[in-house]
């Protein structure tokens, strides 16, 4: 089973290497803005030409594609950005930055035409320092040098904080290859994410869910992150750490301290790093919980029934938006789906309008008056339901019914 997946590792650069990483991140930002500038200039020129009555076939061409943007960069960078060659920065960064911009334009048009699913994508905007530091390498230009270091063009050999034997061993025996790499900096720390193509057959077989493993239904919520009901009647409640809620007090104080510092001062830089570190800790705690939870479910369940939630719509509720965003429902479902595919489990998603919480599992009646505040409710048939357990059980029953019909 050959799949594409990411492999993220933290770097341990020297101060000189960290400065060099920052230079390459700045180069990527400059090239992305250069591309946007050229596209906007061409669009403005076309608009002016149309007002002059120039035929459509003779209007100025807009450089939407990556090759067209790359040609413009190669033509103009020597005059406009002489520091690019003078500093000896990697030539692969502008190439990938042009591809990133071209992909953004394509996503915008695909979203407008309906080819791209999901929320509407806006027209690409200017990239700024506050948007974060990142840049990309194509193919295997960036690659592991050995199990404790990576080779990054234009930077050199950079040590890593973790062992990469899992990846280097597979590259050596030909079961994995690097097809791209993204370097990202946050809160003074740097990571490289390798996009790899690897054969997971042996790994998946060794960790596959047992044939007699239970099937389950999962109901997610704010109070209890996930209520899992197995087909043998076992009920498991999974509680999330809610890292943002736990860190709000520290974040308020850190932001207040930041607001009191002078712009451009050393104290402001320190305060900014502290705020960034707190946000990074929150993101890491959430990611750790989600990965451990979804891996356990995918490796211990034969089939998993889940809801189809409109998470973007749920976050529009001003009273619940922060709590919902803190839990990461969308990422939870994404990870369950691909990990279940790895380990041989089946994921069944209910229709978005399936009344899992309102449906009585005994008589089939729907309680239209149920509100979010009702944690338990009694049906007209006399059955008393726990809201979350009933929802998870209804999802499991619906999946079993669907499987039998198939």
Query: Do the strands 189-199 and 2-10 form a parallel or antiparallel pair, or are they unpaired?
Result: antiparallel
Contact, 343 vs 204, CB < 8 A?
yes
Quick one: which of 133, 139, 132 has its CA closest to 181?
139
Instruction: Write out 97-126 in H/E/C secondary structure.
Output: HHHHHHHHHHHHHHHHHCCCCCCCCCCCCC
Active site residue 307: yes
DSSP 3-state of 64: coil
Q: Which of 32, 219, 230, 326 is catalytic?
A: 219
DSSP letter string over 219-288?
EE-SSSSEEEEETTS-EEEE----HHHHHHHHHHHHHHHHHTSPTT-HHHHHHHHHHHHHHHHHHHHHHH
Helix-, strand-, coil-residue percentages of the chain, each rounded to 5:
50, 20, 30
DSSP letter string over 339-355?
HHHHHT-EEEE--TT--
Active site residue 388: yes
Q: Could you give the residue numbers annotated as active site?
A: 219, 307, 388
């Amino acid at each position: 089973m050959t799949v594409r997946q990411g492999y993220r590792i933290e770097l341990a650069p020297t101060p000189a290497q960290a400065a060099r990483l920052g230079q390459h991140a700045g180069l990527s930002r400059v090239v992305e803005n250069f591309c946007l500038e050229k596209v906007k200039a061409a669009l403005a020129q076309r608009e002016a030409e149309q007002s002059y009555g120039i035929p459509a076939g003779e209007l100025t061409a807009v450089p939407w594609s990556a090759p067209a943007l790359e040609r413009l960069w190669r033509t103009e960078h020597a005059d406009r950005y002489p520091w690019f060659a003078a500093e000896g920065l990697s030539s692969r960064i502008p190439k990938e930055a042009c591809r990133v911009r071209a992909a953004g334009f394509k996503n915008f048009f695909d979203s407008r035409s309906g080819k791209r699913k999901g929320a509407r994508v806006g027209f690409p905007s200017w990239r700024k320092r506050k948007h974060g530091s990142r840049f990309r390498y194509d193919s295997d230009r960036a690659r592991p040098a050995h199990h404790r270091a990576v080779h990054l063009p234009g930077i050199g050999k950079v040590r890593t904080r973790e062992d990469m034997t899992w990846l280097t061993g597979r590259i050596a025996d030909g079961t994995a290859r690097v097809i791209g790499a993204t370097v990202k900096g946050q809160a003074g720390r740097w990571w490289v994410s390798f996009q790899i193509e690897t054969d997971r057959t042996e790994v998946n077989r060794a960790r596959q869910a047992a044939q007699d493993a239970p099937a389950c239904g999962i109901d997610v919520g704010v109070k209890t992150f996930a209520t899992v009901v197995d087909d043998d009647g076992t009920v498991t409640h999974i509680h999330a750490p809610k890292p943002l809620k736990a860190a709000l007090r520290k974040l308020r104080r850190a932001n207040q301290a930041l607001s009191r510092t002078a712009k451009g001062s050393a104290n402001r830089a320190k305060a900014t790093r502290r705020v960034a570190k707190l946000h990074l800790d929150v993101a890491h705690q959430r990611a750790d919980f989600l990965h451990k939870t979804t891996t356990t479910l995918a490796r211990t369940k034969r089939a998993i029934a889940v809801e189809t939630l409109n998470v973007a719509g749920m976050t529009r509720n001003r009273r619940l938006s922060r709590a919902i965003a803190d839990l990461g429902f969308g990422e939870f479902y994404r990870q369950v789906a691909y990990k279940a595919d790895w380990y041989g489990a089946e994921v069944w998603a209910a229709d978005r309008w399936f009344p899992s919480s309102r449906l009585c599992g005994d008589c089939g009646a729907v309680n239209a008056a149920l509100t979010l505040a009702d944690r338990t409710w009694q049906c007209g048939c006399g059955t008393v339901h726990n809201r979350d357990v009933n929802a998870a059980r209804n999802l499991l029953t619906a999946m079993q019914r669907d499987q039998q019909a198939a």
